Amino acid sequence: MNIPSSILTMLVGIGVTLISLWYGQNHGLMPIAASAQASQIDGLFNTMMTLGVGLFILVHGVLLVAVIKYRRREGDNTDGPAWHDNFPLEILWTALPAVIILGIGVYSFEIYNSMGGLDPMGNHDHGTMQSHAKMRGSAIAGTLSDTPQNAPQIQPEKQIALGVGAAPENEGKPADLVVNIMGLQYAWIFTYPESGVSSGELHIPVNSDVQLNLGAQDVLHAFWIPEFRLKQDVIPGRTSELRFTPNKVGEYRVVCAELCGAYHGAMKAVAFVHTQEDFDSWIKEQQIASTQNLEEAVAVNPDKLSDGEFLAPYVRDIKINPESLEQLHPTHH
């Protein structure tokens, strides 16, 4: 019995669809999702994976069938039929990708918006050159809030137009925690403006609305935490922003995703997502450690000491006895 080709085509279509749908959800290519925003990105990725697998099977299936079915038979040296132009087919293979690409475009823009994506065209900072010059000269500890003197006064929230801002439901609300991040060859420096702590690691409490303000001191870097599905270029002289909600306690890698120099590959840091209590105690520890360092720093700072205090540690080393004094002042006799 011969199966009509339309039924065969339909069965193949159903099979390809089922395989693509299954693989699109079970590819296991993504690391664990550790932020509230990650599931949306995964949704987009899975959709593209589903379409990609379907197209892959379709294209390679047709190739395989053609290779087997239309192979040259023994003793057949004739030319193949010279046919060209299949108008309906051409319409199909032009329209189908167009619809798919448009759909993915609209879908991804929708996700970017719902995550709080910022409009790069809204970035009106005319003071880029001045602020760049200023950033170069500033010390590592320079804060990201440094604004160039002669730059036009712009509302800070208007100036930041790179990255991901507050999700629509958090719009207008200040974030629970703000961390300023400075990228430099070859490290990330994390400062916590509220508590004055600075660190080489990112520590954030779970399920809180976290805002990262990102800047670069020297060259382009890119801040990337794969588990949060967030990546943002950091640009000297500009501040970019990432706002998100970490939702899994754990330790994640912070990667620089922009080739920034010879030791770019070593530009790594760790992001710790803590429970709120653990985070509070970490902040406290850091504050105690930094005040201790500060006290030590004051103790060796000569400006803050009287001459006696300053010389005290040295006096012990100078062995003064009457004979040496005599030698020092021979003219007094």
| 37's tokens | 């925003």
Closest distance to Cu ion from the beta carbon of 229 (Å): 20
- Residues 262-301, one symbol each (x = binds Cu ion by CB under 5 A, - = not), give -----x----------------------------------
Closest distance to Cu ion from the beta carbon of 235 (Å): 12
Closest distance to Cu ion from the beta carbon of 28 (Å): 29
Task: For Cu ion, give the closer residue by CB, 161 or 256.
Answer: 256
260 binds Cu ion, rule: CB under 5 A? yes
Candidate ranges 107-115, 155-163, 255-263, 322-330; the one touching Cu ion (CB under 5 A): 255-263
CA-closest candidate to residue 231, choices 109, 107, 104, 117:
117
Size of the site for Cu ion (CB under 5 A): 4
CA-closest candidate to residue 178, choices 151, 158, 156:
156
Sheet with 230-234, strands from edge to edge, namely: 202-205, 268-274, 250-256, 221-225, 230-234
Task: For Cu ion, give the closer residue by CB, 256 or 273.
Answer: 256
Task: For Cu ion, give the closer residue by CB, 159 or 191.
Answer: 191
Q: What is the sign of the dihedral through the CA atoms of 180, 184, 188 and 190? A: negative
Q: How many CA atoms lie within 13 A of 151 on its CB side?
A: 21
Identified binder of Cu ion from the candidate list 203, 221, 243, 274, rule CB under 5 A: 221
Closest distance to Cu ion from the beta carbon of 258 (Å): 6
Give 173-176's long-range contacts (Cβ < 8 A, gap of 24+).
173/209, 175/209, 175/210, 175/211, 175/243, 176/205, 176/208, 176/209, 176/210
Q: Which residue has the tokens 């604004």?
A: 147
177-184 and 210-216 beta bridge pairing:
parallel
| 222's tokens | 């890119």
Closest distance to Cu ion from the beta carbon of 49 (Å): 29
Identified binder of Cu ion from the candidate list 53, 225, 256, 273, rule CB under 5 A: 256
Closest distance to Cu ion from the beta carbon of 98 (Å): 38
State the residues that interact with Cu ion by CB under 5 A.
Answer: 221, 256, 260, 267
